[in-house]
Amino acid sequence: MRSYLVGIKGTGMAHLAVLLKAMGHTVRGCDSAERFVTDSTLEAHGIDVDHGFAGDLLPDGLDLVIHSSAYGADVPIIREAMRREVEVVDYPAFVARLTRAQESWAVVGTHGKTTTVSVATHLLSNGSRGRFPFYALYGSREQTVDRVPYWGSQVALFEGCEYQDHFLSYHLRGMLITTIDWDHPDYFGDIEAVSESFEALALRIPRHGILIYNSDDAMVRRLIAVVETKRADLTIIGYGFTADGLFGIEKRAVGEYAFTGFEDLVFTLVVDAPALVGDHLGALVLATSMVLDQDPPTLYLDDSALVSEEVLPTVVANLARHLTTFGGAEGRLEVMGEEGGVTYLDDYAHHPREIEVLLCEVARRYRDRAKVVLFCPHTASRTRALFDHFVTALSDIEYLVIQATYASARGDRGGEDPAYALYERLATIRPGRVRYARTDDEAIAVACSWLHEGAVCITMGAGNNRQLAGRIAQMRRSKM
């Protein structure tokens, strides 16, 4: 199969390209010449990238063109593919097609999807020593591992996106719901609309399927109450600090946790913020369910298999051994480097709730160190809709540079940049410690003026601002 990916440098698209190559496809693609973090991933796997979107870039003899949702039929290279009668499909539709190719699972939720899938992938691959026949497709890879998440095609694990109801076309054996929050306000009018989308997905799980959920999220609990009344055939498993049953989470010490159903098993985690603990241990529940769902043994034919005093604790313990070796997901509290006494971190947090979780974990890990944050909002519609929540989430940051809103392909910016309004509000709360930067150069100059030995510098949000860390370090180096 010869596949060509338009918008190949997008996070999901780049990881799809790598996965398709592992599956035996001949893969190539195109995107802008600007360098993104995914360039190194594509280069490492020998995938060529054409610059631009001109129709004459399209190679001959293609079987399939997959394009990012950011690009439509008006793009010349897509028009050319259609003229040649090459099959053209967008990324969400192709992922939906993949979910039908084997037994498929997904992690869905407004927050925590990438981390949960990444941890589950780590546990399944290491806990089985690569013998569990699955592959995974999600928005990031493990920071310390450069291998392709492909160990076979009997089972698959996906990160499911709710935007524009994309995940409603998935065909799933089971899924895990992390959180339900108002996001993508350019599509969902309010949190009720978001919840309705998740409910529709849960009710689409095939008969005798498996639904795992985070009981610590109030909207998720509300959803589960509805699903339980409509789908008695599903195996529904809760986890969390508020969960009843086997997978209630208990904190034993800093970084040490247990499930109420297996009190002799103590798990050591690399995180301690409650939301992140939930993501890591939710991933353990998911990985355990995926293993036990295989034949033999099965999870859904006999409910007693779920509470077996022999099988279940053995699987949980075997997988949990690898929680301590999880290297973190790329772009999720990622340590970019340390130079001149400054630690550089990067995180994709672009929703107020994600920012709050990030800052909680950073405060724990880097206690008593000054923090300088460069935040690039995404998108304009999200910034406007959740404005007050953003103010609350950002108001305790010691030194904050707010960058111009990322120019999203959704084209929702229009009018005055809402990032500037965010700056104006926060500047009244923390005068002298909040700046607005229209350009990367401005952001770098302000950050350098605030940084000193012992500080932590965090690039946060969307766009390509993670690359600012290297430029900041370079500027500080030149002034020493």
Half-sphere exposure of 118 (CA within 13 A, CB side): 24
Looking at the chain, the whole-number percentage of residues with pLDDT higher than 70 is 94
Contact yes or no for 383/415 (Cβ under 8 A)? no
User: Which CATH number is correct for 2-90, 3.40.190.10, 3.20.20.140, 3.30.1160.10, 3.40.50.720?
Assistant: 3.40.50.720
3-state secondary structure of 174: strand
User: Is the pLDDT assigned to residue 387 strictly greater than 90?
Assistant: yes
pLDDT for position 304: 38
Lowest mean pLDDT among 196-210, 376-390, 395-409: 395-409
Enumerate residues 6+ apart whose C-beta is below 8 A from 388.
Answer: none
Q: How confident is the model over 197-244, as pLDDT tens digits?
A: 999 999 999 999 999 999 999 999 999 999 999 999 999 999 999 999
**Cis omega (within 30 of 0) for bond into 383:** no
The whole-angstrom separation of Cα 95 and Cα 219 is 26
pLDDT (average), residues 409-422:
73
Residue indicated by tokens 């199969």: 1
Q: Which amino acid is it at 263?
A: E
User: Is the pLDDT assigned to residue 136 strictly greater than 90?
Assistant: yes
Largest pairwise CA distance in the chain: 68
Q: Which amino acid is it at 264?
A: D
- Say which DSSP state 135 is in: E
Looking at the chain, the whole-number percentage of residues with pLDDT higher than 90 is 77
Long-range contacts of 184-188 (CB under 8 A, 24+ apart): 184/382, 185/381, 185/382, 185/384, 185/385, 185/386, 186/379, 186/381, 186/382, 186/410, 186/412, 187/163
Name the pLDDT band for 148 (thresholds 50, 70, 90).
confident
Architecture of domain 334-478 in this structure: Alpha-Beta Complex (3.90)
DSSP states of 81-115 as a string?
HHHTT-EEEEHHHHHHHHHTSSEEEEEESSSSHHH
The whole-angstrom separation of Cα 281 and Cα 257 is 9
The whole-angstrom separation of Cα 115 and Cα 57 is 36
52's enclosing H/E stretch is: none
Of 98, 4, 19, nearest in space to 49 by CA: 4
Contact yes or no for 217/178 (Cβ under 8 A)? yes
Q: How confident is the model over 101-126, as pLDDT tens digits?
A: 999 999 999 999 999 999 999 999 99
- pTM here is 0.91
Q: Which CATH class is domain 100-325?
A: alpha beta
Name the pLDDT band for 333 (thresholds 50, 70, 90).
confident
Alpha carbon distances (Å) from 391 to 44, 355, 383, 418: 40, 11, 10, 12
Q: Which residue has the higher pLDDT, 283 or 466?
A: 283
φ, ψ for residue 330, nearest 5 deg? -60, 130
Sequence spans of domains, the chain: 2-90, 100-325, 334-478
Q: Where are the alpha helices (DSSP H) in 23-148?
A: 38-44, 76-83, 91-99, 113-127
Q: Which amino acid is it at 228?
A: E
Checking phi first, is residue 368 left (phi over 0); if not, alpha (psi -120 to 50) or beta? left
Enumerate residues 6+ apart whose C-beta is below 8 A from 42.
Answer: 8, 9, 14, 17, 18, 29, 49
According to DSSP, the residues that pair with 167 across neighbouring strands are: none
Q: Which amino acid is it at 460?
A: M
